[in-house]
Structure 1
Amino acid sequence: MNLNNHILFVRADASDVIGIGHIMRNIPLAQSWKKEGGEVFFISNQLPNNLERRLKNENFDVIYLKSCLPGSAIDALQTVQMAQKKHANFLIIDGYYFKSAYQKIIKEHHLKLLFMDDFGHLDHYYADIVLNRSLISKQISYSNKEPYTKLLLGSKYNAIREEFVKYGDHIPIIRDDIKEVLITFGGADPQNITLKMIEVLNRVFNKDVKVHFIIGATYKHDIELNKIMHSVKYDFKIHRDVSNMADFMHSADIAVTAGGTTLFEMAYMGLPSIVMSTASNQKSSKVFADKYNTCLYLGNALNVGEQLIISNIEKLKSKELRSKMSVNGQRLIDGKGNERLLQEIIKIK
Structure 2
Amino acid sequence: MNVYIRADASVRIGTGHVMRCLSLADELRERGAKVAFLCRELEGNLISYIRERGYPARTIGELPSADSWLVDAKRTLELLDEAASEGAPADWLVVDHYSLDRRYELIVGTRARRIMVVDDLANRPHRCDLLLDQNYYEAPRARYVGLVPDDCSLLLGPRYALLRPEFAEARSRVRRAGAVRRALVSFGGTDPGGVTLTALRALAPLAAEGLGLTVVAGKLNRDAEAIELACREVPNARFIRHADRMAELMAEADLAIGAGGATTWERCCLGLPSLIVTIADNQRELTEQAEAAGAVRCLGTAESVDERVLREAVLQLMDRPSELSRMSENAMKLTDGRGAKIVAKEMLGW
- Taking a change above 3 Å as real, the CA distance of residues 69 and 238 of structure 1, as seen in their structure-2 partners, is farther
> What are the within-5 Å matches in structure 2 for residues 167-316 of structure 1?
167-174=170-177, 176=179, 178-206=180-208, 208-222=210-224, 224-225=226-227, 228=230, 232-282=233-283, 283-290=285-292, 292-316=293-317
Letter matched to residue 149 of structure 1? C
The one-character-per-residue Cα deviations of 1:282-315 (angstroms, maximum 9, x if unpaired) are 122122222x212211121211233322221112
The alignment partner of 2:26 has SS state of helix
The alignment partner of 1:115 has SS state of strand
- Taking a change above 3 Å as real, the CA distance of residues 92 and 238 of structure 1, as seen in their structure-2 partners, is same
What corresponds to 2:126 in structure 1? 125
TM-score by length of 2: 0.89
What corresponds to 1:3 in structure 2? none
> What are the within-5 Å matches in structure 2 for residues 1-349 of structure 1?
6-46=1-41, 51-69=46-64, 71-84=68-81, 85=83, 86-122=88-124, 124-136=125-137, 137-174=140-177, 176=179, 178-206=180-208, 208-222=210-224, 224-225=226-227, 228=230, 232-282=233-283, 283-290=285-292, 292-317=293-318, 318-348=320-350
The one-character-per-residue Cα deviations of 1:257-303 (angstroms, maximum 9, x if unpaired) are 1111111000101111111111122122122222x212211121211
Contact 2:190 2:220 (8 Å CA) reproduced:
yes
Q: Hey, what's the Cα distance between the residues in 1 that align with 2:264 and 2:316?
A: 19
Q: Hey, what's the Cα distance between the residues in 2 that align with 1:156 and 1:44?
A: 27
Between stretches 311-320 and 181-190, larger displacement belongs to 311-320
Contact 1:117 1:132 (8 Å CA) reproduced:
yes
The alignment partner of 2:281 has SS state of coil
Q: Hey, what's the Cα distance between the residues in 2 that align with 1:202 and 1:329?
A: 27
Q: Hey, what's the Cα distance between the residues in 1 that align with 2:130 and 2:172?
A: 30
Contact 1:172 1:269 (8 Å CA) reproduced:
no
Q: Hey, what's the Cα distance between the residues in 2 that align with 1:149 and 1:269?
A: 31
Q: Hey, what's the Cα distance between the residues in 2 that align with 1:314 and 1:199?
A: 14
The alignment partner of 2:237 has SS state of strand
TM-score by length of 1: 0.89
Structure 1 runs not aligned, ≥5 long: 1-5
Contact 1:172 1:326 (8 Å CA) reproduced:
no
Q: Hey, what's the Cα distance between the residues in 2 that align with 1:255 and 1:92?
A: 31
Structure 2 runs not aligned, ≥5 long: none
Q: Hey, what's the Cα distance between the residues in 2 that align with 1:102 and 1:169?
A: 42
- Taking a change above 3 Å as real, the CA distance of residues 311 and 138 of structure 1, as seen in their structure-2 partners, is farther
Q: Hey, what's the Cα distance between the residues in 2 that align with 1:117 and 1:99?
A: 10
Report % sequence identity: 25
Contact 1:187 1:218 (8 Å CA) reproduced:
yes
Give the Å deviation of 1:226.
Answer: 6.1
Q: Hey, what's the Cα distance between the residues in 2 that align with 1:183 and 1:320?
A: 22
Give the Å deviation of 1:239.
Answer: 1.2
CA RMSD, 1 decimal: 2.2
Letter matched to residue 23 of structure 2? P
